[in-house]
Amino acid sequence: MKHKVNDSVTNIVVNRKAKYNYFVESTLDAGLVLLGWEVKALKLGNVNIVNSYVSFHLGEVYLFGVQFNPLHTTSLHTFHHLKRKIKVLLKKNEIISLHNKIYKNGYTAIVLSFFLKNSWCKIKIAIAKGKTQRDKRDEEKKSMWNLEKSRIMKKVNLV
């Protein structure tokens, strides 16, 4: 008897500035080691991931710069450290390839989104290179031209 696998993925928080500030080369999914109040805050979307990045500390992968805003209903006897480093759960070959890309090739690892997959909190890590101001202007010109082009084609198709 085959079991039905339910791979439901729900995006909770998305870093919208990531694609504006970086050229995304590749992505990978990773698990996290979170505290209970952090999971509750994450499920309600009380997380800021704009300046978050993934780095190595003592041979392990950690997530830095994520700010969890605690709920008012959580217990008062726990200490809420809002910007603590969070351990990222990856396979050994993924850690090695991430380390090689970051330190040898000059890429950076940023967080694209937090999501729930089968009730597990996970992150989507992007291996990316930073954009210069010129790259951002060129991309804006392309998008404006594509928008204008679609307007012209719409007018031509109506006539």
Find the range with the poorest average confidence among 14-28, 44-58, 67-81, 97-111.
67-81
pLDDT at site 144: 94
pLDDT at site 110: 92
Q: Look at residue 73 and tell me whether its pLDDT is greater than 70.
A: no
How many angstroms separate the CA atoms of 53 and 108, rounded? 8
Residue 75 pLDDT level (bands cut at 50, 70, 90): low
Burial readout 4-33 (b: 16 or more C-beta within 10 A, e: otherwise) = eeeeeeeebbebeebeeebeeeeeeebebe
CB 83 within 8 A of CB 66: yes
What pTM, to 2 d.p., does this model score? 0.77
* Higher pLDDT, residue 157 or 60: 60
Please calculate the CA angle 82-85-86 and round it to the nearest 5 degrees: 100
| Span 55-70, pLDDT tens digits | 998 889 999 989 888 7
Residue 29 pLDDT level (bands cut at 50, 70, 90): very high
Q: Look at residue 1 and tell me whether its pLDDT is greater than 60.
A: no
CB atoms within 10 A of CB 114: 23
DSSP per-residue letters across 72-134: TTS-SSS---TT--EEEE--HHHHHHHHHHHHTT--EEEEEEEEEETTEEEEEEEEEEEPPHH
**Closest residue by Cα to residue 127 from 102, 93, 92, 95:** 102
CB atoms within 10 A of CB 79: 4
Residue 147 pLDDT level (bands cut at 50, 70, 90): very high
Domains of the chain with bracketed CATH: 9-131 (2.40.280.10)
